[in-house]
Chain A
Amino acid sequence: MKFKNAIVLLLIIAIATVGAIAGIKGLEIGNVKISPVKEMMTLGLDLKGGVFVVFEAQTDASGKELDKIMNQTKEVIERRVNAMGLTEPNVLREGSKRIRIELPGVKNAQEAIDAVGKVAQLQFKNYKGEVILTGKHVKNAEVVFEKDRGNVPSVSLEFDSEGAELFQKATKEAASHPRGSIESIIAIVLDGKAISTPVVNHEIPNGKAVIQGNFTMDEASQLAALIRAGALPVTLTEVQTSVIGPTLGIDSLNKSIYAAGIGIAIVFLFMMIYYRLPGLVASIALVIYILIVLYVLIGFGAVLTLPGIAGLILSIGMAVDANVIIFERIKEEIRNGKTLRASLNSGFSKALTTILDSNITTIIAGIVLYQFGSGPIKGFAVTLIVGVVASMFTAVIVTKTLLKLFVGLNIFNNTKLYGA
């Protein structure tokens, strides 16, 4: 019995140790390779550096109409972002009117924001300044060379059926005015700037138009690409941006890990000095707790952010709580004159209801925060819930098993070892 206890005990400690080493440095045994936790965890922009922008649509639309506009806008932005060739960019709708764009690894915020958020609002306006149709009616745009204009590059547009109809009506109207008069002009406006003001000579029924300007080849193809990639159906304003330099991100991560290491070390020391043997057990359980939380978060595909790290580190301090409750109970039982084994059993069972009640209330708070919170608050709630569940598991199962194994060895029977 003693021998078996010792084996199991050593096995658990070995697993915790190997797990900790694998987590910090990674591990490679034969074909099995475990990367360090740092590499497996998806890092948020605040840790790896990059740009995020939140745009808000300027529109009075609501309900289904708004939904359609927002989805269109998101599609357009996605296409633009994908064209930038980043790894793991993210385009999300946030709330009803917002779109959040995350561009990891982007160094020049200005360029990125311009490329993505460029409000390529294409409009066709009549002489009164009324909008006849917009970029959302454009089906295709490409560079063409018109022979009669000496092969200067221009951009040809093709409208969808609704656009073709509107364009036909407008050109008919414009063509009815004397050629060259201001009424016969239909201006092509991009982002509020007239880029071409062609005179309409006759009604155009086929839904095709050409933007003529003094374009270079590059300018023409850029313009065509911009229109093709989709003029945004609405104007977007930048309501929030965050640019984190890549060095700051790595700095933040490393300093947080360093801080966590020191914090954990002091907690271990404190627990071992105050609670002796149970303190050592709690420290082993805490290592297992940290491993469980990290791997569960990796499994969930959770994104690690700075507030997330803060929550995680805080949870390590709090995870000791269940152990402290148990150990204090055991001490009380020992003081009441019970034997070590009896104290262990009754201490655990008495502590259990307390641990359950206090942790379930915290979990309730966590679930509510997840449901109703947004952004960082949601991530925070996930860490909180995972942490509480893992700490209950390690305190109740791991700590109990380890303590019983130690007591079973029969060499750690002095109650002084239990801090009593």
Chain B
Amino acid sequence: MKVVEKKKIWFGLSIAIIVVGLIMGMIQGFNLGIDFTGGTMMQIDLKKQVSVNEINEVIKKFDLDGDILHVGENKHEIIIKTKKDLNSGERQKVFEALQKKYNLKDEDFREAEQFGPSIGKEIQKKAFLSVAIAAIGMLIYITFRFEFKFGASAIITLLHDILVVLAVFAIFRIPINSSFVAAMLTIVGYSINDTIVVFDRIRENIRFMKKKNYDEIVDISVNQTLTRSINTSLTTLITITALYVFGVESIKVFALPLIAGTITGTYSSIFIASPIWALWKNWELRKGRYNAG
């Protein structure tokens, strides 16, 4: 497989996804979960499938302006999400309205969550800060073990992964919540791991390199590690997909960004990271020749 030769395709594809995602994100806004915007989530077991319209009718008087989702086996459960900040008394009233109508027991109120808007901002800030610091730490380590250009390429790849996953979430309007942040952080770990394996091979192969053909080195190295990249992402995807398929609602929201991230991480470690490095090396080479001449 010739990876570097077609780098314009890979870079173009990634940039296209990121640009489309960010534009859509800017136009219609990211679908931020209630833990970022503030609001309330309630999960109630109705014991039978009830249409959204009917539920809206029952809770109309609370003026929640919320989303209603059907979840669980047989879609007997509903999740009501609203940007309104309901305290426990107000939540109880909403539940009681449904309880009366559908003759529910107290324990059918499965779950409730409420967030003030300030919480989400803090999570966001902290996550952003920790990723930035983690990136610096990894850059230092890679520079020490390899060279700065490898480190910088790895960090650019990381940024790429985060932007692509964000873009995918923006395009498909998938809610971004605090588990998303935790998932992003895992992706950071996964993707860097994946990238380093390829870099490691490049470092090893450079020793046998006759003339300075970085494109060829990257192609050889990527191909040598390709089976490993694919197999590892397969096993990772298998476990996380099992969680998505068989898990409960609150773990699904977590598994989804992980799936997106694993795919992106694998893609970028093959098609983005080392071509960036090769590009940089070649540019340096040309610059050197020009200076010499």
Contact = CB atoms under 8 A, between A and B. Distances in A.
Does B associate with A? Answer: yes
A46 interface: yes
Interface string B19-37: 0000000000000000000
Given A259-B243, A263-B243, A364 B235 contact: no
Interface in A297-332: 306-307, 309-311, 313-314, 316-318, 320-321, 324-325, 328, 332
B137 interface: yes
Given A248-B110, A259-B242, A270-B235, A362 B185 contact: no
Interface stretch (A72-80, A178-186, A237-245): A237-245
B89 A110 contact: yes
B246 A267 contact: no
Interface stretch (A32-40, A196-204, A250-258): A250-258
A175 B204 CA distance: 92
A196 to B, nearest CB: 26
6 contacts: A109-B88, A244-B110, A247-B107, A318-B235, A328-B228, A361-B138
B192 A374 contact: no
B134 A245 contact: no
Contacts of A114: 88
Interface in A103-117: 107-110, 113-114
Contact of A239 (B118, B227, B234, B239): B118
Given A247-B110, A318-B232, A328-B227, 13 more contacts: A110-B88, A110-B92, A248-B111, A256-B243, A263-B240, A318-B235, A324-B232, A324-B235, A332-B224, A358-B197, A366-B189, A377-B127, A377-B181
A361 B192 contact: yes
A264 B116 CA distance: 39
B86 to A, nearest CB: 9
A362 B192 contact: yes
Nearest to A314: B240
A369 interface: yes
A307 B254 CA distance: 7
A390 to B, nearest CB: 15
Contacts of A384: 186, 189
A375 B130 CA distance: 13
B186 A255 contact: no
Interface string B117-148: 01100110011011001100110011001100
B239 A267 contact: yes
Given A237-B116, A364-B134, A263 B182 contact: no
Contact of A374 (B111, B113, B126, B185): B126
A361 B142 contact: yes
Contacts of B146: 357
B204 to A, nearest CB: 8
B110 A310 contact: no
A242 B185 contact: no
A354 B255 CA distance: 28
Contacts of B12: none
Nearest to B179: A307
A260 interface: yes
B87 interface: yes
Contact of B137 (A256, A271, A365): A365
A-B pairs with the 10 shortest C-beta distances? A263-B242, A239-B116, A317-B236, A317-B239, A263-B239, A259-B246, A372-B130, A358-B196, A368-B134, A243-B112
Interface in B233-250: 234-243, 245-248, 250
A15 interface: no
Nearest to B237: A317
A109 to B, nearest CB: 5
A168 interface: no
A183 B238 CA distance: 76
B233 to A, nearest CB: 9
Identify which of A366, A368, A374 gathers the most chain B CB atoms within 10 Å of its CB: A368
B232 A321 contact: yes
B14 interface: no
Interface of A: 46, 54, 56, 95, 107-110, 113-114, 237-248, 251-252, 255-256, 258-260, 262-264, 266-267, 270-271, 274, 306-307, 309-311, 313-314, 316-318, 320-321, 324-325, 328, 332, 350, 353-354, 357-362, 364-369, 371-377, 380-381, 384
A263 B113 contact: no
Given A252-B251, A377-B185, A310 B243 contact: yes
Contacts of B231: 270, 274, 320, 324, 328
Contacts of B268: none
Nearest to A367: B137
Interface of B: 43, 87-89, 91-92, 106-116, 118-119, 122-123, 126-127, 129-130, 133-134, 137-138, 141-142, 145-146, 154, 178-179, 181-182, 185-186, 188-190, 192-194, 196-197, 200-201, 204, 224-225, 227-228, 231-232, 234-243, 245-248, 250-251, 254-255, 258
Given A267-B235, A321-B193, A374 B243 contact: no
A361 B196 contact: yes
B188 A259 contact: no
A143 B145 CA distance: 73
Given A245-B109, A256-B243, A318-B236, A240 B119 contact: yes
B216 to A, nearest CB: 18
B185 A380 contact: yes
Contacts of A309: 243, 251
Contacts of A256: 243, 247-248, 251
A241 B138 contact: no
Contacts of A56: 116, 118
Contacts of A362: 189-190, 192-193
A267 B67 CA distance: 37
A314 B192 CA distance: 15
Contacts of A376: 178-179, 182
Contacts of A109: 88, 91-92, 112
B176 to A, nearest CB: 15
A255 B71 CA distance: 14
Given A95-B122, A241-B114, A372-B126, A313 B242 contact: yes
Contacts of B92: 109-110
Given A310-B258, A361-B142, A266 B238 contact: yes
Nearest to B240: A314
Contacts of B107: 107, 245-247
